[in-house]
Chain A
């Protein structure tokens, strides 16, 4: 987004800003990756400050209503702890067997759980503050510039963890990025009330209804999937007759372009409103009413850094391990070259796409994600955690979900704490010790820690 014209810039004079805080480890972003990073760093002895632009923690779960963890049982550590706490607090089904594909959770209870974990760990949180720039000295990140109600300020740290979801800090620091040409569809889930769960779970004919509404021009083709589902129903969600509806999307928008984001948010919200009258024609949803559209549109992919190591398709499908692995992941998806589950043209529900997937061999593997994926090339003192770590386009599509973000975060936080304790650069962290600490703190990193025979392919958590 820049202006066309003769002089398209303004000269800004040097500006003095106050340093309002400093920390061993500064975590930018309080989403899944950021919370895991901050908690892990603090538990391992670091003084941690976490800056969040919103007031609530948890990111995509509570803010974009992605209310399911996928393949999370095999991700140990913080992810497993979060699920345990959700179950203990009525936020997830305590009876759901280990190994299920999806764990639905209540996003409101998740906020309580994360807030509690952060507080217990002694993480300081600065909410409603935006990280707007990186402070760099001789190729090393020394802190960030922030904006909030108190003005433009600086925060300094020995290690900065970029968990912004868009690699904002890395980008401002000038880190090289992966190619990014095909943004996956953004999704706008919305919370409804008045669901009649006795009748809403009969999904027969629903696809036909959506298609008929599209054909009749009632629903716009590019704004809606060919089906919709009631996403991730936790027991408390069902008891309150609430639901989170997945079916509204926006195609071809760049998540780190402010004009695109503005347009996506507006279109998606309008799409939600226009969907409600249709929804009320579907059995079980006759009395449904809109509680609210997600506070933030769901973004599947964004900028990804070019790191010391880039996770590839081969790493995943061939189940490769590396000397510096920081977590291991169970994977079960079709072996299609260039696979993305949600292609940028929105064709995921098309017959052709389904057929392509049906004809592809499904590959089950366990692979390792190396520490090098978190380290942006050519920059010191900066770790990236979340969906923006160094992965190829296809690898990202297979390893980008909330449990992955938590695992990236846990590794980043732990590595940062070790670096601070020993007074060494991030690239000099003792990998053996990092792995030992991660294992001791619950990550499934030891040989044979993931038993794929326990994997259950599907479980009905949506309707």
Chain B
């Protein structure tokens, strides 16, 4: 790619360069393009495909599931309807979801989730493009008409009648100029990890004493002062318990949305250093004497940094409407549509919802919203072909 200006490099930061225009090859035209293969994106793609739309799901990673597999965010909602229930049922059937030994919620095995979602996607006939970055939306006369993707093959255009932004941060919506709301409260990002060799009976008995033990270790210098003050295990299904496997909520920090990317590298390095320093201490605790590191999560668990402003911003008192068809159309659908923009739906973490409402939607929120977005895309498609 050639450009029009290039100054001596050190003076260029903060300025802009112009990338020249180009003819970008079309990869494939589809009815619905879903960008992002986390829970919400998968739900959207499956639901759109089942509704009869030719649907392509683009995911930058090579596995589906988003934060579960990538960041060990393992919470599941206890639901009995919709796509979320389908996912849950499949996980439960193989013994890969169940009550968390350390808490009341449902949790899942992240590896099993990847397979369950892949099966559902393939079963429905969703077209899949992995290891591909959904970049700029294609906009014609103010309407989103597809998106550009970047991958090992190069830069490609994917024209689509409806685009669903399930990137988690409203990346396409932001680039399309949708109004966004940055969250003033800095988000917490955490690096979780997985350990083996846990003796659960003794660990459970001793956990009340963990904060005191940590304080003591910090006092004596056995743990550095920047280590977390608390220790929490989680993610222990019956199968995990049998195998001695648990997840640890790792070191976290508060970060504001704007600086996330620039400081991610530092934060991750810092978190790894802290985890490494914490492991010997872990082995001094009852039940964890034989524990060992299986793996650190592939990425930090990043909270909600910003959300799109839609035709409506979901309020806390409207959260229940996600379970009722009629209320859904009235209350939820406008939240999936970015204000002032057509051709694009936004689902998942960046959906137009107040922070408290998003929190209250809980673990099932992404799946339910995604499923609805898929349905809505099919409706939009029908309306388009009618005109």
Contact = CB atoms under 8 A, between A and B. Distances in A.
Interface residues of A, number: 88
B143 to A, nearest CB: 15
Given A16-B17, A19-B12, A125-B265, 6 more contacts: A8-B25, A8-B26, A10-B138, A127-B264, A142-B3, A295-B63
Interface in B51-72: 60, 62-63, 69
A105 to B, nearest CB: 14
A124 B3 CA distance: 26
A17 to B, nearest CB: 6
A20 B25 contact: no
Contacts of B175: 151
Nearest to A144: B1
Contact of B151 (A125, A129, A258): A258
Contact of B130 (A15, A191, A262, A289): A262
A55 B300 contact: yes
B9 A158 contact: yes
A55 B63 CA distance: 15
B81 interface: no
Interface string A129-160: 11011111100001101011111101011100
Interface string B5-29: 0100110111111111111111111
Contact of A10 (B9, B60, B157, B171): B157
Contacts of B29: 3
Main secondary structure of the interface of B (DSSP, over half): mixed
Given A128-B299, A133-B1, A142-B6, A259 B23 contact: no
B84 to A, nearest CB: 23
A168 B151 CA distance: 10
Contact of B152 (A3, A21, A258): A258
Interface stretch (B210-218, B268-276, B281-289, B336-344): B268-276
A93 B213 CA distance: 32
A129 to B, nearest CB: 7
A14 interface: yes
Nearest first, the 7 A-B pairs at minimum CB distance are A125-B265, A258-B151, A22-B9, A10-B157, A156-B9, A9-B23, A256-B152
A448 interface: no
A154 B245 CA distance: 43
23 contacts: A2-B25, A8-B26, A9-B26, A10-B23, A10-B157, A11-B23, A15-B19, A18-B14, A22-B9, A55-B264, A55-B268, A55-B300, A112-B276, A115-B273, A118-B269, A133-B19, A149-B169, A193-B245, A239-B292, A258-B151, A258-B152, A262-B130, A292-B110
Nearest to A154: B17
A330 B16 CA distance: 48
Given A137-B2, A156-B6, A256-B153, A17 B19 contact: yes
Nearest to A156: B9
B224 interface: no
A5 interface: yes
B130 A261 contact: yes
A56 interface: yes
B318 interface: no
B381 interface: no
Interface in A285-319: 289-293, 295-297
Nearest to A257: B153
B138 A266 contact: no
B316 to A, nearest CB: 27
A335 interface: no
B155 interface: yes
B213 to A, nearest CB: 23
A400 interface: no
A126 B111 CA distance: 27
B26 to A, nearest CB: 4
B118 interface: yes
Given A19-B17, A22-B10, A127-B265, A12 B169 contact: no
Interface in B90-120: 110-111, 114-115, 118
Interface string A101-120: 00000001001100110110
B251 interface: no
Contacts of B114: 269
A242 interface: yes
Contact of B153 (A1, A127, A191, A239): A1
- Most chain A beta-carbon contacts within 10 A, residue among B3, B18, B265: B265
B322 interface: no
A338 B268 CA distance: 44
B225 interface: no
Contact of B133 (A18, A130, A265): A130
Given A158-B9, A172-B1, A291-B294, A15 B18 contact: yes
Contacts of B204: none
B129 interface: yes
B243 interface: yes
